[in-house]
């Protein structure tokens, strides 16, 4: 289990349901006026509900028993008008609360998405995209009914229960106590269920996230699955996750269903007890039929809110796990963040200094060990070495995607930890091996590197990397809509568009991490010409396994075992016949052999 997964489980164990609910309901304080209107409406509707049995009591024991037809008609007309008002107010209440709860969900989802964008790479390194999607979409959606019913169910049903008990005690305290004799049993039963149910729903939510993550990963890698005919293996893995998800649901819902059984049993015991006391002990005769019917209605009015509250609580423990998982992310602090006294990095020249830098992604293995170097403004540095040697780590530290554990990194003499992240990255152009393209037009994808770029700047950047010609051959040129991840384009075309996106930002420091690995030899030569023309005078770091792309670099760093083993120009390193010479000869010997 990853460190983040352990931290998440610890968070969910320690957080209380009460704290989670209070935090969730705090979002509703922004809607005080509509909620106050809803509460006022509910007090009116509860009053109407409580009055109805008294109207029936009067109709039977007074007007029907006294054969007062005019009085009965008037009372009936009053009751009809009162209940029409009741229906209209309930509709209005539901409309207002639906609007409020949807607005709260919108706020939570926006806050969650904004916060996730601020989190460090370490957060995403250990969490599949599908699990994060489950938080933003599924867990937030699960809160809708909780938020809405928290006002429309909780408040009126509590008020109804208190009012009904008070009226029953006033009318006949013996019948009232007989009706409520099963309350202790109900309270004990519900306590027993809720203490075990919440944990089961939390497990079910986790299984749902695992299933969502698996589906997202499989759909993203469908070409690989089909290429290696691994459909059967992935189907078996899917079936296992699906079974775990189903079993966790059944395990949780069995307890939830017990809520209704406990209340139905308590309701039955209370009703039987009330009729037994009425007939056997109090000897109520025909003259008290109205009172008995009113009591029967009040019993129903007492247990219906209890049933509603149990359903709400059932819903609450089902979905509170979703709220806990949302707040878990909101409480996750980014590993990389601006300090309190941070300052803006002014326009830079591009000097980069590593001063005895050591770094490890975990506590066990150091990726970089006491690395020091100084890069002059406008200098091109190539980083070569075996996979895992620390090349990408160096450029990630310059961009401050991670923070060093030991030593310091300076840009133009400014410690990168003492300047704002935004002002640092704004002056850097970063292109990685992952040529991710967004859905949208070609122009929009290039403009992503500089959001206020003009059409002329976009075209100039595309021309600089020789992407203009193939763009103009597309159906609508720069206004051609791209599919998700640039589907339909060749790998080389996607790479050139990503390159143009980086170029349009006109960075002071350029980082190319295997940026030309998927471009054919002819296109690569054209791109190199574009780089030389556009980035003249800019500091650049180039990571490339294809050594032919870095021959013109001012200096080449050979990285291995977390240190710079060799440095110098290509000719100087070849003359030394060290590690670079061996890499160079091995690569070109393989090319000759092929």
pLDDT in tens, 239-262: 888 788 777 777 766 665 555 566
pLDDT value for 397:
92
Mean pLDDT of the chain: 77
φ, ψ at 519 (rounded to 5°): -100, 135
Is residue 279 pLDDT above 80, yes or no?
A: no
Query: Which tokens belong to 378?
Result: 């406008």
In CATH, the architecture of 352-593 is 3-Layer(aba) Sandwich (3.40)
pTM for the model stands at: 0.62
Looking at residue 171, its pLDDT comes to 74
- Please state the rounded mean pLDDT for residues 461-465: 84
Residue 221 tokens, joined: 């890698």
The predicted structure's pLDDT at residue 42: 82
The token duo for 458 is 């976009």
Q: Where, residue-wise, is CATH 1.20.1560.10 in the chain?
A: 16-330
Q: Which residues pair with 375 in a beta bridge?
A: 352
Nearest partner of 376 among 398, 409, 354, 351, judged by Cα? 351
pLDDT at 133 over 60: yes
pLDDT at 419 exceeding the cut of 70: yes
Across the strands, what pairs with 428?
509
Q: How confident is the model at residue 3 (pLDDT cuts 50, 70, 90)?
A: very low
Q: With 50 as the cut, is the pLDDT of residue 593 above it?
A: no
pLDDT of 131 > 80? The answer is: no
Residues 445-460 have a mean pLDDT of 87
Distance CA 52, CA 105 (A): 37
Query: Tokens in use for 359?
Result: 């770094």
Please give the residue that has the higher pLDDT: either 515 or 174.
174
Q: Are 484 and 439 in contact (CB under 8 A)?
A: yes
Is the model's pLDDT at 328 over the cut of 70? Answer: yes
Task: Lowest mean pLDDT of 1-5, 233-237, 407-411, 481-485, name the range.
Answer: 1-5
Match 């143009």 to its residue by tokens: 500
Rg (CA), the chain: 35
DSSP state, residue 388? T
pLDDT band at 80 (very low <50, low <70, confident <90, very high): confident
Cβ burial of 272 (10 Å; 0-12, 13-18, 19+) is middle
CA dihedral for 277, 282, 287, 288, sign (positive or negative): negative
Q: Is the pLDDT of residue 2 over 90?
A: no
286 band by pLDDT with thresholds 50, 70 and 90: very low
- Could you tell me the sign of the dihedral formed by the alpha carbons of 515, 519, 524, 526, in that order? negative
**Cβ(358)–Cβ(406) below 8 Å:** yes
- pLDDT at residue number 358: 92
Q: Are 45 and 90 a contacting pair, CB within 8 Å?
A: yes
Pairing of strands 380-384, 406-411: unpaired
Looking at residue 564, what is its pLDDT? 92
Residue 566 has pLDDT above 50, yes or no: yes
Q: How confident is the model at residue 56 (pLDDT cuts 50, 70, 90)?
A: confident
Percent of the chain with pLDDT over 70: 73
CA torsion angle for 179, 183, 189, 192 (degrees, to 10)? Answer: 170
Residue of higher predicted confidence among 28 and 297: 28
What is the model's pLDDT at position 357?
Answer: 93
pLDDT for res 224: 63
Within the chain, all domains assigned CATH 3.40.50.300 are found at: 352-593
Reported as a single tens digit per residue, the pLDDT across 304-315 is 777 777 667 767
> Which run of H or of E encompasses 509?
strand 509-513
Residue bearing the bigger pLDDT, 274 or 303: 303
Q: What angle do CA 120, 319, 137 make, to 5 degrees?
A: 45
Using the predicted structure, report yes or no on whether residue 374 has a pLDDT greater than 60.
yes
Q: Could you tell me the pLDDT band of residue 152, with boundaries at 50, 70 and 90?
A: low
Q: What is the mean pLDDT of residues 472-499?
A: 81
Nearest to residue 272, comparing CAs of 164, 182, 162, 174?
A: 182
Distances (CA, A) of 585 to 525, 556, 580: 21, 16, 9
The pLDDT of residue 282 is 56
CA distances from 339 to 335, 344, 479 (A): 11, 12, 41
The CATH architecture assigned to 16-330 reads Up-down Bundle (1.20)
pLDDT tier at 434 (50, 70, 90 boundaries)? low
Q: Which of 396-400, 470-474, 475-479, 510-514 has the lowest mean pLDDT?
A: 510-514
Largest CA distance in the chain: 121
The span from the CA of 122 to the CA of 524, in Å, is 33
482 beta partners: 440
Query: Using an 8 Å Cβ cutoff, are 545 and 384 in contact?
Result: yes
């Amino acid at each position: 289990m990853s460190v983040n997964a352990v931290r998440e489980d610890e968070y969910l164990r320690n957080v209380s349901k009460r704290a989670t609910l209070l935090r969730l309901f705090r979002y509703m304080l922004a809607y005080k006026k509509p909620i106050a209107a809803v509460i006022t409406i509910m007090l009116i509707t509860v009053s109407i509900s409580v009055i109805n049995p008294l109207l029936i009591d009067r109709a039977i024991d007074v007007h029907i028993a006294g054969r007062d037809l005019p009085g009965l008609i008037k009372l009936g007309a009053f009751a009809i008008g009162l209940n029409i008002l009741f229906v209209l107010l309930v509709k209005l209440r539901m409309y207002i609360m639906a609007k409020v709860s949807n607005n709260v969900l919108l706020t939570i989802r926006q806050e969650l998405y904004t916060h996730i964008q601020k989190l460090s790479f370490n957060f995403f390194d250990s969490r599949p995209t599908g699990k994060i999607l489950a938080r933003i979409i599924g867990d937030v959606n699960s809160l809708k009914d909780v938020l809405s019913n928290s006002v429309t169910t909780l408040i009126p049903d509590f008020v109804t229960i208190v009012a009904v008990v008070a009226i029953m005690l006033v009318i006949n305290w013996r019948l009232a106590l007989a009706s409520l004799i099963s309350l202790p049993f109900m309270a004990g039963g519900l306590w027993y269920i809720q203490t075990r149910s919440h944990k089961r729903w939390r497990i079910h939510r986790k299984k749902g996230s695992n299933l969502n993550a698996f589906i997202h990963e499989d759909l993203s890698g469908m070409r690989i699955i089909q290429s290696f005919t691994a459909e059967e293996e992935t189907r078996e893995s899917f079936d296992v996750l699906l079974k775990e998800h189903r079993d966790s649901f059944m395990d949780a819902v069995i307890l939830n269903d017990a809520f209704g059984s406990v209340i139905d049993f308590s309701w039955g015991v209370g009703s039987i007890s009330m009729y037994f006391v009425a007939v056997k002990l109090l000897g109520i005769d025909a003259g008290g039929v109205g009172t008995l019917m009113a009591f029967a209605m009040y019993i129903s009015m007492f247990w219906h809110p209890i049933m509603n509250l149990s359903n709400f609580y059932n819903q609450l423990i089902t979905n509170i796990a979703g709220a806990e998982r949302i707040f878990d992310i909101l409480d996750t602090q980014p590993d990389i963040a601006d300090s309190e006294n941070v300052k803006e990095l002014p326009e830079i020249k591009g000097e980069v200094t590593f001063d005895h830098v050591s770094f490890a992604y975990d506590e066990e293995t150091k990726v970089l060990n006491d690395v020091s170097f100084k890069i002059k403004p406008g200098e091109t540095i190539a980083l070569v070495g075996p996979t895992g040697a620390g090349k990408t780590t160096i450029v990630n530290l310059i961009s401050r995607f991670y923070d060093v554990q030991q030593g310091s990194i300076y840009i133009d003499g400014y410690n990168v930890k003492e300047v704002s992240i935004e002002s640092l990255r704004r002056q850097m152009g970063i292109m990685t091996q992952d040529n991710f393209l967004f859905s949208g037009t070609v122009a929009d994808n290039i403009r992503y590197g500089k959001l206020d770029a003009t059409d002329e700047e976009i075209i100039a950047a595309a021309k600089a990397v020789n992407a203009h010609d193939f763009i103009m051959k597309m159906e609508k040129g720069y206004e051609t809509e791209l599919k998700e991840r640039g589907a339909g384009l060749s790998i080389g075309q996607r790479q050139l568009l990503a390159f143009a996106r980086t170029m349009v930002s006109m960075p002071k420091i350029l980082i190319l991490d295997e940026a030309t690995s998927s471009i054919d030899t002819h296109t690569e030569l054209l791109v190199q010409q574009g780089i030389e023309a556009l980035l003249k005078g800019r500091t650049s770091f180039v990571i490339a396994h294809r050594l032919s792309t870095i021959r013109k670099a001012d200096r080449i760093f050979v990285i291995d075992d977390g240190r710079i083993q060799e440095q110098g120009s290509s000719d100087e390193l070849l003359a030394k016949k060290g590690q670079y010479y061996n890499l160079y000869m091995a690569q070109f010997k393989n090319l000759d052999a092929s």
